[in-house]
């Protein structure tokens, strides 16, 4: 298991060449951080001397409490070996592999729609943004598809999706409870405010508050009354 | 305490003169019974010789577990009289006063009529659309799917909907209707409402008079959803 310090040392070469990247604990984070977080996670492994670099993306506008990325993929070495921290030249290899494998994808994802497209692109480990109603609700709300979001909210009344005795404060409950009444009233500004509050909470959870910048959601940029269907 | 047989005896002339009335426990009910129950409730009172007649209506398409009419109005005794069994005029007064309100009850035939009735100026009723839960059910029954979905969304904020006990309508109704509303499942909604009517008919002990009938939601052509299959 490598330490945070070791992870930060091995990332130094990459960071030196890519000024839009910053290190936060075990994550190399690409700036700017708006609605979408793009990062390379230098994960611990059971082996003390190794780490696993994963590139990944996630959306910030959910009440996150753990720092997991969710949509991530392992960055393989050129050889079949594991990433052993004490190997000479590993920092250079890591920088190159991130630049080859991860950066083109990560830099191409700048909007919520880009993220949605990525989750729909058929990567085997990436769940589709609409696969879980509670998540679909967030995206429909963010995009301003109020009718779709209300339908999803309805779906969430299903006792199997939303158990009656779920503990209060559970994220699963939080999203429909907070968004539902705002959706019922077409309160676009209120929805945007709520999503922004969740982004702030996620930024704290990922410890990237100082890099996160609040930015407008598509729902705010539309004139009221238009509810485009998201590209499902 | 007045008994059910006391009440049945008292109602004999009414039943004879009005063939569309029948008696179920302490309720004088108007036939036919479809979505709306119209009745006169001869309620018990603390006075062992007394009773209180109330006329009113209620909707059957939620799973009722108590037999209360809820939207009802007291039928007042005439001057210097009271609703007690020891009053020799009580049967005649009941017949006369109930027959005065029967036209009101007979005019309540559809769900729409009932909705209008809940807004009646002479009562202290809760209007049908005063609460989100009830608005949800009515909008679903009428086929106002978008309005009903708004109710589902609004209801999410009420933490109490989750903690309410299983006998309470509140969690049962949205949990059953909202997922159907999400899919525009008109037939499914109508089936669910009919099932609840049957439960309510059993609760009121009027099962053999209740007749299942189509809901407005079934009578409409389904909306064509331009985003279907998107």
Q: Model confidence over B97-119: pLDDT tens digits?
A: 999 999 999 999 999 999 999 99
The whole-angstrom separation of Cα A133 and Cα A156 is: 7
The verdict on residue B228 lying in a domain is no
Closest alpha carbon within chain A to B172 = A159
- For residue A153, whether the previous peptide bond is cis, meaning omega lies within 30 degrees of 0, is no
Residue A223 has pLDDT above 90, yes or no: no
The answer to whether the Cβ–Cβ distance between B153 and A148 falls below 8 Å is: no
- Kindly state whether residues B109 and B149 are assigned to the same domain: no
Confirm whether A232 is domain-assigned. Answer: no
Of B19, A194, A18, the closest CA to residue A29 belongs to A18
Domain of residue A25 covers 4-119
CA-to-CA distance for A210 and A167, rounded, in angstroms?
32
Domain that holds residue B136: 132-219
ipTM tops the 0.95 cut? no
Please give the average per-residue pLDDT across A152-159, as a whole number.
86
Quote the tokens at residue A98.
Answer: 């991130």
CA distance A127 to B202: 47
Residue A130 confidence class, pLDDT cut points 50, 70, 90: very high
**Residues A183, A149 contacting (CB under 8 angstroms):** yes
Average pLDDT over chain A reads 89
A181/B156 touch (CB, cutoff 8 Å), yes or no: yes
Domain identity same for A111 and A139: no
Task: Identify from B152, B175, B226 which residue to disrupt to test chain A contact, counting A C-beta atoms within 10 A and taking the largest count.
Answer: B152
Domain contains B37? yes
Q: Are residues A16 and A115 in the same domain?
A: yes
Of the given ranges (A68-77, A167-176, B125-134), which has the lowest mean pLDDT?
A: A167-176
Pairing mode of beta strands B27-30, A71-74: unpaired
Please answer whether residues A153 and A178 qualify as being in contact, where contact means their C-beta atoms are separated by less than 8 angstroms: no
- Cα distances (angstroms) measured from residue A171 to each of A63, A178, A183: 6, 10, 18
d(CA A98, CA A81): 16
- Report yes or no on A200 lying in a domain: yes
Co-location of B181 and B203 in the same domain: yes
Same domain, A80 and A149: no
Lowest mean pLDDT among B13-27, B197-211, B212-226: B212-226
- Give the domain-ending residue among B87, B118, B149: B118
Which of A168, A180, A229 shows the shortest C-beta gap to B156? Answer: A180
User: Is B17 within 8 Å of chain A by CB?
Assistant: no
Residue that terminates a domain, selected from A119, A149, A174 = A119
Using the predicted structure, report yes or no on whether residue B48 has a pLDDT greater than 80.
yes
Of the three residues B88, B118, B148, the one that is the final residue of a domain is B118
Asked if residue A208 belongs to a domain, the reply is yes
Whether B226 shows a pLDDT value over 70: the answer reads no
What confidence score (pLDDT) does residue B168 get? 45
Q: Cite the beta strand spans of B47-180 per DSSP E.
A: 51-59, 71-74
Q: Closest Cα partner for B167 from B137, B139, B199, B126?
A: B199
Q: How many CB pairs under 8 A join A and B?
A: 79
Same domain, B142 and B83: no
For range A211-232, the mean pLDDT = 74
User: Which domain-ending residue is among A119, A142, A171?
Assistant: A119
Domain count, chain B: 2
* Residue B182 forms contact with A (CB below 8 Å): yes
Overall domain count for chain A: 2
Chain A residue numbers with beta carbons less than 8 Å from the beta carbon of B182 are: 151-152, 154-155
pLDDT-above-70 percentage for chain A: 90
Q: What torsion, rounded to 10 degrees, do the Cα atoms A197, A199, A205, A208 define?
A: -120
Looking at the structure, do residues B52 and B110 belong to the same domain, yes or no? yes
In a domain, B193, yes or no: yes
């Amino acid at each position: 298991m490598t330490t945070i310090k070791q992870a930060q040392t091995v990332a130094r070469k990459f960071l030196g060449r890519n000024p839009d990247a910053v290190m936060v604990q075990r994550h190399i984070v690409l700036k700017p951080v708006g609605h979408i977080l793009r990062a390379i996670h230098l994960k611990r492994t059971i082996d003390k001397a190794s780490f696993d670099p994963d590139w990944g993306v996630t959306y910030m506008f959910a009440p996150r409490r753990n720092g997991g990325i969710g949509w991530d993929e392992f960055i393989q070495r050129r050889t079949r070996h594991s990433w052993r921290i004490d190997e000479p030249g590993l920092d250079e290899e890591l920088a190159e592999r991130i630049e080859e494998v991860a950066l083109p994808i990560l830099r191409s994802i700048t909007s919520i729609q880009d993220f949605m497209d990525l989750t729909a692109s058929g990567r085997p480990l990436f769940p589709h943004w609409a696969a879980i109603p509670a998540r679909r609700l967030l995206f429909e709300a963010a995009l301003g598809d109020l009718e779709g979001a209300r339908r999803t909210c309805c779906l969430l009344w299903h006792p199997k999706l939303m158990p009656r005795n779920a503990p209060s404060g559970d994220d699963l409950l939080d999203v429909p409870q907070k968004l539902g009444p705002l959706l019922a009233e077409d309160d676009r500004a209120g929805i945007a405010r709520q999503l922004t509050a969740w982004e702030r909470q996620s930024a704290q959870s990922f410890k990237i508050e100082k890099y996160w910048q609040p930015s407008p959601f598509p729902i705010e940029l539309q004139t009221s009354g238009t509810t485009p269907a998201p590209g499902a | 305490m007045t008994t059910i047989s006391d009440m049945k005896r008292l109602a004999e002339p009414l039943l004879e003169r009005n063939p569309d009335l029948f008696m179920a426990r302490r309720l004088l009910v108007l036939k036919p019974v479809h979505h709306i129950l119209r009745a006169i409730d001869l309620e018990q009172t603390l006075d062992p010789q007394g009773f209180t007649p109330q006329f009113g209506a209620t909707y059957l398409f939620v799973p009722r577990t108590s037999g209360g009419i809820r939207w009802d109005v007291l039928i007042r005794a005439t001057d210097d009289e009271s609703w007690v069994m020891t009053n020799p005029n009580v049967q005649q007064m009941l017949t006369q006063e109930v027959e005065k309100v029967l036209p009101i009850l007979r005019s309540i035939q559809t769900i729409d009529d009932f909705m209008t009735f809940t807004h009646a100026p002479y009562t202290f009723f809760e209007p049908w659309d005063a609460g989100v839960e009830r608005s949800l059910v009515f909008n679903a029954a009428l086929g106002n799917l978008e309005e009903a979905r708004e109710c589902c969304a609004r209801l999410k904020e009420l933490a109490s909907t989750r903690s309410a006990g299983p006998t309470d309508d509140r969690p049962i109704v949205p949990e059953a209707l909202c997922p159907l509303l999400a899919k525009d499942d008109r037939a499914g909604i109508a089936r669910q409402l009919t099932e609840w009517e049957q439960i309510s008919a059993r609760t009121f002990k009027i099962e053999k008079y209740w007749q299942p009938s189509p809901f407005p939601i079934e009578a409409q052509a389904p909306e064509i959803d331009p985003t279907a299959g998107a």
